[in-house]
């Protein structure tokens, strides 16, 4: 075979080889334009999620143009109400929702609900972090739990809007410790974001709960100390222990998801589901998750509806302050919304007042008895101190005289002499104070003076000093 024939043969082989190599097909964009409704201000978790979704959709050419519309207020309920109220959906539109909206629904007894929308997919699993100022005496989760148990009223907590995932985590911690909600002060900062962390760095005794990415991106990060995250397992890229690792077994995670209106045309809803199926599988979305310290959920589409229902019930129970939805508790709530609830309230107030009056009368009777006993003892002692010789009581006058001489030898004042005798009579400081018309604190100080002058350390040894001679 000549050289020309060999060259021609090689060209044919190369051409055939090129025909057999599969050429990747480039899928066309599903939409030219997609609108994302964010029920919050710029900079918060909802907005960051929308920004990441938009960036990944455009990077993968799944959607050519993405417009983000923000509608903040009432923990996401204003944006939700506006989205649900739309009648004419002329362009593909999605809504970004999350645990915070479920909490706002429960907190505000909202008539609009996230469950009224059609879930598309769960986009993220978000780690909630607990942080304090770097100069706080709280260094570990153990320190925090100890402070919550010892004096929960001293701690002020700060986080996002009322009903947010931040507040949900606080109430979950309180419930696990068995501490009532009214012992905790939670400052809700609508919109969250940097405002929460600004207040944390400038306020005393604050403990903040926010998503980890907000702590990580905060300009004053060096002024903060992060204690733990609340997820089941550690997150990649987050060098913090979970609450479970610190010994406080509790898991509460935040999440963000995409929703579509059930009023949208069926073809449009199917296309939106296709958009997010491609998004979740894309490298661009994986990069966004890593950059924001989010984690991809296990069942982003198939298990999303069940997760919403479970979290909605969990949030309602925690925000109600009750340990569970018992039959008794449910029956009581039913009674309180009936027309006769005002009669029940009036009866409860009247019964409370009657009990208070009865308790005050009983307490007054007890106090009167104590005072009479103390006055009788005081009068007896004064009579004994003023008697001359041993004629007052021939049985034990000599013993009393010996005791009086001993106390006078210690240099006790007349007031201290009276108190010394009343101590020997077995009266308590409260009874002595009532009889003498002075404060219990003053009596306690005078008793300390008696012990100091006598060289006897305490009440029991003072009484024991005269035990062999005393016969009352």
The pLDDT assigned to 74 comes to 85
8 Å CB contact between 226 and 215: yes
Q: What is the pTM of this model?
A: 0.61
CATH of residue 77's domain is: 3.40.190.150
Q: Nearest to residue 176, comparing CAs of 330, 311, 308, 318?
A: 318
Examine the domain organization and report whether 373 and 295 are in the same domain. Answer: no
8 Å CB contact between 432 and 443: yes
Whether residue 355 is contained in a domain is answered as no
Q: What strands, in cross-sheet order, belong to the sheet with 63-70?
A: 63-70, 31-38, 93-98, 254-260, 118-126
Extended beta strands in 230-341, E state: 254-260
Examine the domain organization and report whether 144 and 242 are in the same domain. Answer: yes
Q: Nearest to residue 156, comparing CAs of 100, 201, 207, 227?
A: 207
3-state secondary structure 194-205: HHHHHHHHHCCC
Tokens of 293: 């310290």
Whether residue 177 is contained in a domain is answered as yes
Examine the domain organization and report whether 170 and 245 are in the same domain. Answer: yes
Neighbours of 79 (CB within 10 A): 24
Examine the domain organization and report whether 158 and 77 are in the same domain. Answer: no
* Residue 177 burial (C-beta neighbours within 10 Å; 0-12, 13-18, 19+): middle
Examine the domain organization and report whether 161 and 49 are in the same domain. Answer: no
The full DSSP string for 64-86 is EEEEEEE---GGGHHHHHHHHH-
Tokens of 423: 């101590």
Series of mean pLDDT values for 10-residue runs along the chain (472 residues): 52 45 54 94 89 96 95 90 83 94 90 94 95 94 94 89 90 92 86 80 84 88 93 89 94 94 93 95 96 90 91 89 41 42 67 77 65 62 53 53 80 84 82 82 87 84 69 45
Q: What angle (nearest 5°) sits at the alpha carbon of residue 433, between those of residues 432 and 437? A: 120
Examine the domain organization and report whether 316 and 379 are in the same domain. Answer: no
Examine the domain organization and report whether 49 and 117 are in the same domain. Answer: yes
CA dihedral defined by 44, 50, 54, 55, rounded to 10 degrees?
A: 40
Tokens of 285: 């979305």
Examine the domain organization and report whether 56 and 113 are in the same domain. Answer: yes
The pLDDT assigned to 199 comes to 86
Measured distance between the N- and C-terminal CA atoms of the chain, rounded to whole angstroms:
140
Examine the domain organization and report whether 112 and 166 are in the same domain. Answer: no
Q: Please count the structural domains in the chain.
A: 3
Q: Residue 149: which domain range?
A: 128-252
Examine the domain organization and report whether 212 and 188 are in the same domain. Answer: yes
Whether residue 8 is contained in a domain is answered as no
The pLDDT assigned to 21 comes to 40
């Amino acid at each position: 075979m000549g050289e020309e024939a060999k060259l021609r043969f090689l060209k044919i082989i190369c051409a055939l080889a090129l025909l057999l190599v599969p050429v990747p097909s480039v899928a066309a964009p599903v939409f030219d334009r997609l609108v994302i409704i964010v029920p919050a201000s710029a900079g918060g978790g909802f907005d960051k999620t929308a920004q990441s979704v938009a960036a990944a959709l455009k990077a993968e050419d799944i959607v050519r143009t993405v417009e983000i519309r923000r509608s903040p207020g009432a923990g996401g309920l204003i944006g939700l109400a506006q989205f649900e109220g739309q009648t004419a959906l002329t362009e593909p539109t999605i809504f970004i929702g999350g645990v915070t909206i479920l909490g706002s629904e429960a907190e505000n007894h909202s008539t609009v609900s996230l469950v009224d929308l059609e879930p598309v997919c769960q986009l993220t699993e978000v780690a909630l972090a607990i942080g304090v100022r770097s100069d706080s005496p709280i260094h570990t989760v153990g320190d925090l739990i100890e402070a919550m148990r010892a004096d929960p009223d001293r701690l002020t907590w700060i986080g996002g809007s009322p009903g947010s995932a931040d507040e949900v985590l606080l109430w979950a911690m309180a419930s696990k410790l068995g501490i009532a909600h009214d012992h905790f002060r939670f400052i809700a900062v609508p919109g969250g974001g940097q405002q929460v962390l600004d207040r944390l760095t400038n306020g005393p005794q604050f403990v903040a709960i926010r998503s980890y990415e907000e702590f990580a991106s905060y300009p004053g990060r060096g002024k903060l100390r992060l204690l733990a995250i609340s997820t089941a397992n550690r997150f990649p890229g987050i060098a913090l222990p979970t609450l479970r690792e610190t010994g406080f077994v509790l898991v509460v995670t935040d999440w963000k998801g995409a929703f579509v209106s059930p009023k949208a045309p069926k073809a449009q809803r199917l296309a939106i589901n296709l958009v997010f199926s491609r998004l979740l599988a894309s490298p661009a979305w994986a990069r966004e998750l890593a950059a924001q310290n989010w984690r991809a959920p296990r069942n982003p589409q198939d298990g999303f509806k069940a997760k919403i229902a479970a979290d909605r019930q969990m949030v309602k129970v925690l925000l109600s302050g009750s340990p569970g939805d018992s039959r008794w508790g449910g029956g009581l709530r039913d009674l309180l919304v009936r027309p006769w609830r005002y009669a029940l309230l009036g009866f409860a107030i009247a019964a409370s007042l009657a009990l208070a009056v009865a308790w005050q009368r009983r307490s007054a009777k007890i106090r009167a008895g104590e005072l009479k006993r103390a006055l009788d003892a005081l009068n007896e002692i004064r009579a004994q101190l003023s008697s001359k010789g041993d004629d007052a009581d021939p049985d034990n006058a000599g013993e009393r005289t010996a005791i009086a001489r001993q106390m006078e030898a210690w240099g006790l004042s007349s007031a201290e002499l009276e108190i010394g005798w009343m101590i020997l009579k077995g009266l308590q400081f409260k009874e002595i104070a009532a009889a003498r018309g002075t404060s219990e604190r003053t009596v306690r100080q005078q008793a300390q003076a008696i012990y100091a002058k006598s060289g006897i350390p305490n009440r029991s040894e003072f009484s024991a000093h005269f035990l062999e001679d005393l016969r009352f």
